[in-house]
Amino acid sequence: MSTLLAESVTIRFGGLTAVDDATIEVPDGGFIGLIGPNGAGKTTLFNAIGGFITPTRGRVLFQEREITSMPASARARLGIGRTFQKLELFGRMSVFDNLMVAAESAESRLDIVSDILSLPRRHSEEARCARIANEMLEMLGLEWARERRAADLPVGHARILELGRALCTKPTLMLLDEPSSGLDSDETKAFGQLLRRVNEEMGIAILLVEHDMDLVMDVCKMLYVLDFGRSIAQGTPNEIVKDPAVRAAYLGEEDNETAAAPAER
Amino acid sequence: MQIFIRTLILGIASGSIYALASTGLVLTYKTSGVLNFGYGALALFTTYIHWSLAVGAGLPVWLSALIVVGVIAPILGVFLDRQLFRPLEGQPQIISVIATVGLFVLFRGVVDLIWHGETKSVPSLFPPGVVHLPGGTVIGKDQLGVLIVAVVAALGLGAMLRYTKIGIAFRAVVSNRPVAGLMGINTGYVSGLAWALGTSFAALMGILLTPSLLLDPNYLPPFIIAFVLGAAVVGYLRSLPLAYAGGIFIGVAQAIFIQYIRSQGFLGRISDSLPFIMIAVAVVFAPRALRQSGIGASFIVRTREIGQRASKETRGLVAVLFFGFLALVPILFSGSWTAAIYNGFVYAIIFISLVILTGYSGQISFGQTAFMGIAAFSTAHLVQGAHLPMWIALVLGALAAVPAGNLIGFIAVRVHGLYLALMTLAFAFMADSLFFQNPTISGGEGGIPLKRPAGFHGPTSLYYLGFLLLIVFVIIGLNLRTGRTGRVLAAMRDSETASRSLGIPVTKYKVLIFGLSAFIAGIGGVMLSFVLEQAGNRSFIPFLSLIYVAVAVLGGIFSVGGAIVGGLLYGIYNQLAGYRLLSWLPRYQLILFGLGATLALVQNPEGMFGELRRAGAAIARAFDRGARRRPREATPIPVAGGQE
């Protein structure tokens, strides 16, 4: 059974076909990478899976349930967590509260009355969610930053926090959009370690869109390669490295600025 | 046919004034990033100067107009740009919007102070008499003159933008300010010039309009804001030609309305709110990118370190002492103080309704008077007509405001920042002109009687009623912030995208929070009506919405404490004038509040409450110096947003 299946997805913007009949499958507990040169349509496809774009054709299934035109917040409630290429932390809230919001969103229902009246129910729910948030804080190694404003965190820690925030919603699938941007190589490595733990220890399936080939090769069990909106190859990292179509897409044209992408860190 | 042509020319004449002013507004907005809600007050102020020169000092009308439009207004514009808006650069748009509201209040206050707010009649620039146009149409010379001046000014502006070097710089900044800056254009100089031009056009508008409209401080500024903004949104605040066309359109539509739909009833009132209907339609149908452009509506505040706060125990003690003191006021002080502080309680509750919107959620409302009015008139009718007991009517009346709040909340899902501010202002004006000005709803001049609840007729018992309700809403406000809802609101304020990705139903929360805000404002509206024991439309004029925002910002828009400080200040302000040393206060009321709000935004966005808290924390530290601050005990639930 697959956690996620994006089937024959085509996305057009006016005359431009950004994604052309691409199919991607994330098996239960899988760790899938989605790579490709700049402009290959990775982010567009990713956004269709996350619910920020509706595909022109094709469908998206989550745990065999069609979610093609479901809004982003509803997908999140089904168990799809995500991070953003451009950090989207709750900047003025504390690190702890960032996690707390996420835990509460998944764990407790909207109940403004017990909030306003400060009913006992509210406090028991808060205590429960605070436990989840504290455990996450510990797992991320961010206890020292508990009361810091999220906006004051350095990028490396901010990326980790954003991942942890999504994890607090107890997702079965994590969508990660270029998590290594802004990180140096050590930070990227550490982030990769964390991702592996998320995948192996927590059993969460991951779909990773990434530029940093070292990271992708290191952590992903299976890769899909997009070029000009088409899926040109799929396989294990070792197979992909040897695939002639992939080599052509990345290295074929010297004048293409993306030629440098695989070497880029 | 002749009537139609005449109507058309009249419409184009007044339309070209609106067009000119809205072009000036858009020009300033595009070059300096500030949408000036104080535009009408600038027009008012400069036109009063014109009146003083022409009528008071006896200068020739033309010379006086030339001095005001050509010298005084531009200097004023440059001054405002340099002193106020340049320092606010880089802050979220909503900050400068509120600063212009402060400006509005400030200049309205200056007019009250210097000219005692008296209505003046301004002489026309043009000779009396009529002109016979070919085809038999007759038109007044003054109307023709207005048309010529407005068109010449527009052509002059157009030529400047098109042919001069500075004009090209202007257009570059209008189309893309950061890039223009990178290309070596002095954007500061350009925005200063735009402010000079914009203020000149505001003055010109006032001078051309007032001979036929009267110079009335209560009427003119809202009128101008309405027509100028209505025209400007036609081009979505970015296109100068469209803003001009929008002005002409409004002028013609208004003239046709007046000429052909004379009815005094509902249709007549629609004509008054025409510009606001245009704003509402334009905003709702605006392209997505524009509507959401104010997405950074949340305030970026230089929040101080958490360590600067006094300990929880100290804060609790201060609160207990403060409320304990308030509980003793009717015993210790005279009746007039009791009444004044009751007013303070009412305003504090109204400001709490703004705090949960703006401070907690990063939303904005310039329409609280609409919610207050809906609740007050509903309550009054329920008591008068349905003979419901006061208590039930009070709650039902406030609940009647909730759907209106929900509606605005629903709109706020689609519309952000500046456009939301426009939308709520339009809502307040529409509620006023369509319903509150309707005598069957509001009882006309005398209002509708609204007796105090049984047992609370005396000033002391009314005081305790207000005190009790304030405590209720303070607790609600505090619980709201520290609880799950408060965290969700703060999360939505900081990033709606991320909130959605966590499964937070953003729409539901916005609808909810605007509904709650409307309810609280509604309670405030009814309580305000208890003072005079009548619900009257003078208590809910839209202008007051702007003052409320200004005073709430001055007190502190981020916290319930700020709402209490602002509310009490506003409530007891005139009472303070009873002391001989402070007898000058009432005359400066609007000036102080307007200036205070704008200064607060520049200096300390947390307002007076922020200052008080900082001082209080310093004192507390001085007391327990030596006693090391314990590490913040492991309370599982720290406050949201990292600020009080």
Size of the A and B interface in Cβ pairs below 8 Å: 134
Q: What is the pLDDT of residue B227?
A: 83
Is the pLDDT assigned to residue A260 strictly greater than 80?
no
Spans of chain B, pLDDT less than 70: 90-94, 262-269, 271-272, 287-310, 624-644
Calculate the alpha carbon distances from A152 to A95, A177, A183, A214 in Å. 10, 22, 16, 28
- Per CATH, B2-260 and B342-580+618-642 having the same topology is answered yes
- Is the model more confident about B155 or about A109? B155
Q: What is the pLDDT of residue A46?
A: 87
> Per residue in B400-452, pLDDT tens?
999 999 999 988 887 777 788 888 988 898 898 888 888 888 888 888 888 88
User: What mean pLDDT, rounded, does chain A reach?
Assistant: 86
A37 in contact with B at a CB cutoff of 8 Å?
no
Is the pLDDT assigned to residue A71 strictly greater than 80?
yes
Mean pLDDT throughout A32-47? 86
The string of DSSP codes covering B214-246 is: -B-TTTHHHHHHHHHHHHHHHTTTT-HHHHHHH
CA distance A53 to chain B (A): 13
The one-character DSSP state at B68 is I
**Domain residue spans in chain B?**
2-260, 342-580+618-642
B504–A97: do the CB atoms touch at under 8 Å? no
Q: What is the pLDDT of residue B641?
A: 39
B498–A89: do the CB atoms touch at under 8 Å? yes
How is domain B342-580+618-642 classified at the CATH fold level? Answer: ABC transporter involved in vitamin B12 uptake, BtuC (1.10.3470)
- Is the model more confident about B399 or about A182? B399
Of A115, A147, A166, the CB nearest to B480: A115
The string of DSSP codes covering B264-284 is: SSHHHHHHHTHHHHHHHHHHH
B168 class by beta-carbon count within 10 Å (0-12 exposed, 13-18 middle, 19+ buried): middle
Residue with the two structure tokens 């592996």: A196
Q: Which residue in B620, B632, B639, B635 sits closest to B314, CA to CA?
A: B620
Q: Are B437 and B537 in contact (CB under 8 A)?
A: yes
d(Cα B229, Cα B202) in Å, to the nearest integer? 12
A119 in contact with B at a CB cutoff of 8 Å?
no
Q: What is the pLDDT of residue B199?
A: 93
CB < 8 Å to B491, chain A: 90, 93, 98, 101
d(Cα B404, Cα B438) in Å, to the nearest integer? 18
Q: Under an 8 Å CB criterion, which residues of B touch A?
A: 298, 300-301, 303, 306, 475-476, 479-480, 483-488, 490-491, 493-495, 497-506, 508-509, 512, 516, 632, 636-638, 640-643
> Per residue in B288-303, pLDDT tens?
656 555 433 334 343 3
d(Cα B54, Cα B47) in Å, to the nearest integer? 10
CA distance A164 to chain B (A): 12
Strand partners, A5: A25, A61
CA distance B512 to chain A (A): 9
CB < 8 Å to B483, chain A: 115-116, 118, 122, 126
Of B501, B516, B632, the CB nearest to A82: B501
d(Cα B364, Cα B424) in Å, to the nearest integer? 8
**H helices of B355-416, where?**
361, 368-384, 390-414
Q: What is the pLDDT of residue B46?
A: 94
**Domain residue spans in chain A?**
2-87+170-263, 90-152
CA distance B520 to chain A (A): 13
Pairing status of strand A230-235 against strand B130-132: unpaired
B607 class by beta-carbon count within 10 Å (0-12 exposed, 13-18 middle, 19+ buried): buried
Q: What is the pLDDT of residue B558?
A: 87
Kindly state the helix (H) or strand (E) to which residue A26 belongs, with its residue range: strand A16-27
- Is the model more confident about A208 or about B175? A208
d(Cα B269, Cα B273) in Å, to the nearest integer? 7
User: CB B198: neighbour CB atoms within 10 A?
Assistant: 30
Tell me if residue B595 falls in helix, strand or coil.
Answer: helix
Sheet holding A230-235, edge to edge: A80-82, A173-177, A205-209, A31-35, A222-227, A230-235
B502–A169: do the CB atoms touch at under 8 Å? yes
Confidence of residue A263 (pLDDT cuts 50, 70, 90): very low
CB < 8 Å to A108, chain B: 484
Residue with the two structure tokens 């300033």: B28
3-state SS string for B454-507: CCCCCHHHHHHHHHHHHHHHHHHHHHHHHCHHHHHHHHHHHCHHHHHHCCCCHH
Specify the CATH class of B2-260 in words: mainly alpha
Q: What is the pLDDT of residue B306?
A: 39
Kindly state the helix (H) or strand (E) to which residue A37 belongs, with its residue range: none
Helix, strand, coil share (%) of chain A residues, nearest 5: 45, 25, 30
Residue with the two structure tokens 């942890």: A164
**Closest Cα in chain A to B500:** A73
B490–A149: do the CB atoms touch at under 8 Å? no
B503–A90: do the CB atoms touch at under 8 Å? no
Q: Enumerate residues 234 to 263 of chain A having a beta carbon within 8 A of any beta carbon in chain B.
A: none
Q: What is the pLDDT of residue B53?
A: 93
Predicted TM-score (pTM) of the model is 0.85
CB under 8 Å to B116, separation ≥6 — which residues? none
A85 in contact with B at a CB cutoff of 8 Å?
no
Mean pLDDT throughout A150-177? 92
How is domain A2-87+170-263 classified at the CATH fold level? Answer: Rossmann fold (3.40.50)
A115–B484: do the CB atoms touch at under 8 Å? yes
Q: Enumerate residues 90 to 109 of chain A having a beta carbon within 8 A of any beta carbon in chain B.
A: 90-94, 96-98, 100-102, 104-106, 108
